[in-house]
A and B are shown apart, each in its own frame.
Chain A
């Protein structure tokens, strides 16, 4: 079982950027995918993008193309999600999750605790 621990809550100004980290333990980091999923207050889950650290590069949802960057550092077993040009609508809980598959249809079997990002002037 993989454990994922995320960095702490952030408060950001509109137009700025945020970087959230996700440190993994309990399995061989790099051999499985890490995805980022966000949830705005009172809303549903939204897949943002993902990466398989050993293979890269990251793949992004069209909605976030050009504004998000997902990277991973195998030496520290840590994945990162950078979101720039922040606006109030980006206020949300951001989760990292391990993407696993036996058939090619990936699912998320371990989740971080979430990082609340608040965008406010």
Chain B
């Protein structure tokens, strides 16, 4: 089955840049990213590799190159501390696939 690999955790100091990767088997697929804070439903922060829904700060950006997609959070704030998930749609099987999630800690 399809697998998306994310690092379990990323730590960054406030004001710095956080990068969260999502890798393997991405070639040809658009990658989407979600933020989930404790006790809340996920929120879409990046879709189609690099587009942002309305209301999502410009500090959140995405890229997808080769086998790895990256969510970049610039000028990290305490409120960005959350779990982040990448997701693709496997059109062969017509199914959604999520990465295992990355816990972002703001030091």
Contact A111 B98 (CB under 8 A): no
CB-nearest residue of chain B relative to A114? B41
Q: At the interface, yes or no: A50 with Cβ under 8 Å from chain B?
A: yes
Contact B44 A46 (CB under 8 A): no
Interface string of B11-47 (1 = CB under 8 A from A): 0000000000000000001101010100001111001
Contact B41 A113 (CB under 8 A): yes
Query: Helix, strand, loop or mixed for chain B's interface?
Result: strand
Q: Which of B1, B34, B53, B89 contacts A45 (CB 8 A)?
A: B34
Contact A45 B47 (CB under 8 A): no
Query: Which of A9-17, A24-32, A76-84, A99-107 lies at the interface?
Result: A99-107
Q: Which of A37, A95, A107, A111 contacts B89 (CB 8 A)?
A: A107
* Bound complex: CA A13 to CA B78 (Å): 41
CB-nearest residue of chain A relative to B91? A104
CB-nearest residue of chain A relative to B101? A44
Q: At the interface, yes or no: B79 with Cβ under 8 Å from chain A?
A: no
Q: Which B residues are in CB contact (< 8 Å) with A97? A: 42
Q: At the interface, yes or no: B70 with Cβ under 8 Å from chain A?
A: no
Which residues of B are at the interface with A, using a C-beta cutoff of 8 A? Answer: 1, 29-30, 32, 34, 36, 41-44, 47-48, 53, 83, 85, 87-89, 91, 94-101
Q: List 29 A-B contacts (CB under 8 A).
A: A37-B42, A44-B83, A45-B34, A45-B36, A45-B42, A45-B85, A45-B87, A47-B96, A59-B94, A62-B1, A95-B41, A95-B42, A99-B96, A102-B48, A103-B48, A104-B91, A105-B30, A105-B32, A105-B48, A105-B89, A106-B89, A107-B48, A107-B89, A108-B42, A108-B87, A109-B53, A111-B42, A112-B41, A114-B41
